[in-house]
Amino acid sequence: MSVPVVGVETDADGGAASIATPTLRALLRRSSFWIIAGAGIIGVAVVAVLVSGGTNVVGRALAGDNPSPAGSMALVEVLRQQGVTVQLADSLAEVRSLAGNNSTVLLYDENGYLIDSQLAELARLATRTVIVAPDFLALQSLAPAVGFGGVSGAKSLVADCALPAANRAEQIIPGGNTLSLPGSGTGCFPSGKDTFSVVQNGSTTLVADPRVFNNENVAGFGNAALALGLLGQSDSVIWYLPTLADLPRTGPPSLAALTPGWVTPVLLLLGVTAIAAAFWRGRRFGPLVAENLPVTVKASETMEGRARLYARSNARLRALDALRIGAVQRLATTVGLGRLAPLEEIIGSVAALTGGAPATVRSVLVEAVPTSDAQLLALSDSLLALERATSRAVAAGAAPETGGVASAIPPALSPTDLETERMDP
Amino acid sequence: MTLSGRFVFLVALGAVPIVLLGNTTSRAFALLLVWLLFALVLGGIDLALAASPRAVTVERMLPARVRLGESVTSELYLSNSGRRRLVGTVRDAWQPSAGAGNNRSPVVLPPGERRLISLVLTPFRRGERRVDQVTVRSRGPLGLWSRQVTLNAPGRIRVLPPFHARKHLPSRITRLKELDGRTSVMVRGPGTEFDSLREYVRGDDVRSIDWRATARRNDVMVRTWRPERDRRVVILLDTGRTAAARVDNEPRLDTAFEAALLLAALASVAGDRVDFLAFDRRVRGRVQGASGAALLSQMVDSMALIDPELIEMDWAAVPGQIRSITSQHALVVLLTSIDAAGASTGLLSVLPQLTKRHTVVVASVLDPVTVEAAATRGDRDALYRAAAAERALLDVARVSAAIRQLGADVVTNSPAQLPPALADRYIALKAAGRL
């Protein structure tokens, strides 16, 4: 068929209005609110971090560059103002390179990174050592005579010793851990028998309570006097807080040490390539086209649904009734009776035509009640057989067949057998 | 903006210098940065040199109509009003059901020139198929980055129902013509009118001999009859929710279209006036007062846009609608579905009003799946299925009997057979003079 009418639809104006994609400038103008709002939010966030960052950042405890309450920046700065060179060290190697012939080392090993030999080397390197909150290993290797004294119960800690720095301090912050010194030695700030907060053991001074040095408490009691007195004796102080770098390396070299230098950049390049490829494949060629799809309903759905309902509720008789009514109507038409013919007449004609007993035909068409699925199937088969036999008989010129239906109906379906049949659960 | 596979390859190629020259980590990182910068600059230059797709203007030429299953060519003219030669790809964004296939075509547009892009459309759904936009992608000279712009270029094409049933038309017209000039008593009736006298030939019914004319002509003359002409046929299509159901992978509505078209073609050949109405709760399509070729083209045109509505048919309004079309006696064909008795009460309640005045035929599709299922009894599931199918058929038979009792005629058949069956019923009614 040729197309009857040719219509022409043109896009005559062809101006800027016919371009759906916005220009970069229009896009920026349209989204200017969001750009400005985003920039504003980022700006406010940056300002807020800068303003509150000084107090909120929780750095390492007693770190010399940490201005938070747990840090020790105040003490370090005061020492520097007094002309003492304070150098911060993160590893024993750094201490080794920094140590002069008259330097004090402050050691605060919060996580217990240092081992025996490292502690011994540290003691050799420094002229004086101040160990804050020594752990068991530190006590073992540097001051074997000193033990742990538990938490101080004294209300106030008074110097009460020969150490000049302690004497000048007079008092330090009460509470905190103590050290026990059962034998002879210099112990200051006692809180009970043989328990002291500060113990001097040769060139090593042990301070049990780290709070003496932190920003929060250094200004209270005589804390500052004790700290400055202990650390200000020499020109240079090495502020040493051990890190992971001090852990001894064991095992085979790591993967990073074995891979060549170009591996990470190439991996990054692959990542960039993957992003570019995603953009290449994922960029849409224009907007999606919408289409209204029609409703699709299969007309046989109701029939299938009814069949499943029959099967689920084992509605054998109801199902058989439908089949029987259909069969009776077809039989009525086959034998030449009207659609509204009485059932008895139909049974009579069918029985006469097929040569079966009217009682058998009646049982198949009306009376037999199936009690199991097998019986239902058998009955449906005999219905079909009856229909076939009838139409054969009609086609053969109404010559009665002998035993046509009687053999088609299984003996299990005679009414007497049905009574004795086991009921299905 | 978009980028090509070539650019991706260029970025990936950076691995070669990094592996060969980057012997230390820092040097490798520097090489990576340099290479990425190089690729970006190259891409940027390419993008800057690409012709602007904004300078392209679009013109579209489309045939207005096409039958479902046939193909048409959509013509898209692109002209380049810019100063650079545009090399790239064009996507003509037709709806998927327009059957455009691959709608991306390569294009080379020198400045100031015009090129034709033709696309063969084979729509696979009836109705109005649309296109709104054309996307142009303009490649740079290196083929790394492209500029992409979507242009508005609306177009639409109306896809008409296929009318497959027209293959039955010639045989039905032949049978209709056989009615003409027949003398058989079978044809004679109140609906036939006197046509002419002709000489008796052997085989003519002797009861048709006109003795007066025989006496005048000295030869045996017979009267011939022809079916009445200028009767009215009203085809009413139910577009309610039951029309959406698919029977044999075809919505009932489409089968009804086929049947309506065949009947209309046949009736207009037979000289009857055909009116068409598609209705559910409001009028979806109406063709009145057309005849001949105009009738069919108007009918397919209005059918093209009709889709089944998921609402219940308002049968109570149907007599009024038919009265508004004709007040004379007419053959009213209701193309609907006959289901369970409960679903057909609306139809049954208005049938007496219609049959009092008109000859009514109710045509409905019978699901061949149901008929087949009723005869299949293998296992337990098949048996229950057969029972359910039998029940459905009995429901249809019951409703059909009720419709016949109310004085209307029923035609049910499978989707492929319904149009010719309805045409046959029309011919039978015409032969019986019941129009």
CB B434 within 8 A of CB B427: no
> What's the CATH architecture for B232-431?
3-Layer(aba) Sandwich (3.40)
Amino acid, res. A55: T
CATH number of the domain encompassing residue A185:
3.40.50
With an 8 Å Cβ cutoff, is B35 touching chain A?
yes
Cross-chain residue pair A303–B369, CB shorter than 8 Å: yes
Alpha helix segments (H runs only) across B270-379: 293-304, 318-325, 345-357, 368-375
The H helix count followed by the E strand count for chain B is: 12, 19
* The predicted structure's pLDDT at residue A246: 80
Same domain, A202 and A97: yes
Residues of B in contact with A296 (CB under 8 A): 244, 246
Asked if A9 and B154 come within 8 Å (Cβ–Cβ), the reply is yes
* C-beta separation of B166 from B73 below 8 A: no
Nearest C-alpha in B relative to A323: B387
Query: Which residue in the block uniquely carries the two structure tokens 């989204």?
Result: A31
Q: How far is A336 from chain B (nearest CA, A)?
A: 18
Query: Based on the structure, what is the number of domains in chain A?
Result: 2
Tell me the residue type at B85: R
- The rounded distance, in Å, linking the Cα atoms of B100 and B90 is 13
Is B320 in a helix, a strand, or coil? helix
- pLDDT value of position A313: 93
Report the distance separating Cα B410 and Cα B418, nearest Å. 11
Burial class for A374, CB neighbours closer than 10 Å (0-12, 13-18, 19+): middle
Residues of chain A with C-beta less than 8 angstroms from the C-beta of B393:
326
Taking each helix axis as running N to C, give the angle between helix A263-282 and helix B5-13, from 0 to 180 degrees, rounded to the nearest 10: 180
Tell me if chain A has a CB within 8 Å of the CB of B23.
Answer: yes
pLDDT value, residue A39:
96
Distance CA A380, CA A408 (A): 11
Point out the residue among A265, A279, A320 whose CB comes nearest to the CB of B32: A265
Q: B246 and A377: CB-CB below 8 Å?
A: no
> Are the beta carbons of B63 and A6 separated by less than 8 Å?
yes
From A185, A218, A245, the end of a domain falls on A245
Looking up tokens 């299953």 gives B69
Confidence (pLDDT) at B394: 92
Which of A10, A11, A377 is most worth mutating to test chain B (most B CB atoms within 10 A of its CB)?
A11
Residues A352 and A232 in one domain: no
List chain B domain ranges: 1-160, 232-431
Which chain B residues are closer than 8 Å to A310 by Cβ?
Answer: 384, 387-388
**Which residues of chain B neighbour A280 with C-beta distances below 8 Å?**
2-5, 7-8
CB spacing of B135 vs A280 below 8 angstroms: no
Please say whether the beta carbons of B388 and A307 come within 8 A.
yes
Q: Which of residues 86-145 of B touch A (CB under 8 A)?
A: 89, 91, 93-97, 104, 125, 131-135, 137
B202 touches chain A (CB under 8 A): no
Give the model's pLDDT for residue B192.
Answer: 61
Q: In the β-sheet with B232-238, what is the strand arrangement from edge to edge?
A: B283-287, B273-279, B232-238, B331-335, B359-365, B409-413
| Three-class SS state of B352 | helix
Mean pLDDT by 10 residues, chain B (435 residues): 93 93 87 94 94 92 92 94 93 91 93 94 91 93 93 93 92 84 49 73 81 88 76 93 87 93 93 93 92 90 90 93 92 92 89 93 93 88 93 92 93 94 92 77
Same domain, A325 and A180: no
Query: Domain span at residue A409?
Result: 313-419
Cβ–Cβ gap B388/A329 under 8 Å: no
Instruction: Report pTM.
Output: 0.68
* Boundary (domain end) residue, out of A223, A245, A267: A245
Side-by-side strand order, sheet with A297-298? A297-298, B245-247, B250-251
* pLDDT at res. A382: 92
Q: In this complex, do B247 and A21 lie within 8 Å of one another by their Cβ atoms?
A: no
Question: Given A245, A267, A284, which residue is the final one in a domain?
Answer: A245
Min CA distance, B43 vs chain A (Å)? Answer: 12
Residue A303 placed within a domain: no
A8:B61 CB<8 A: yes
Residues in chain B, overall count: 435
What are the tokens at A252?
């085979």
Alpha-carbon gap, residue B110 to B166, rounded angstroms: 49
- Per-residue model confidence as pLDDT tens digits over B118-153: 999 999 988 899 999 999 999 999 999 999 999 999
A vs B: CB pairs below 8 A: 236
Tokens of A374: 């097998």
CATH superfamily of B1-160: Immunoglobulins (2.60.40.10)
Q: Is residue A307 part of a domain?
A: no
Q: Which residue of A has its CA nearest to B384?
A: A307
Q: Dihedrals φ, ψ of A238, to 5°?
A: -105, 115
Task: Report the Cα–Cα distance between both ends of chain A, in Å, rounded.
Answer: 65
Residues of chain A where predicted confidence (pLDDT) is lower than 50: 1-17, 399-425
**Do A111 and A225 lie in a common domain?**
yes
User: Would you call B3 an interface residue with chain A, using a CB distance cutoff of 8 Å?
Assistant: yes
Q: Which of B28, B131, B380 sits opposite A262 (nearest CB)?
A: B28
How far CA B288 is from CA of A355, B24, B232, B257, in Å, comes to 61, 88, 11, 16
ipTM: 0.74
Structure tokens at B367: 């699901």
Contacts of residue B249, Cβ cutoff 8 Å, sequence gap at least 6: none
Residue of B nearest to A4 (CA): B65
Distance to chain A for B202, nearest Cα, Å? 35
Q: With CB atoms and an 8 Å threshold, state whether B385 touches A304.
A: yes
pLDDT of A53 reads 62
Do the Cβ atoms of B11 and A272 come closer than 8 Å?
A: yes
Q: What is the pLDDT of residue A413?
A: 43
Q: Do B18 and A21 touch (CB under 8 A)?
A: no
Answer yes or no: do B64 and A19 touch at CB < 8 A.
no
Determine phi and psi for B385, rounding to 5 degrees. Answer: -65, -45
pLDDT score for A268: 93
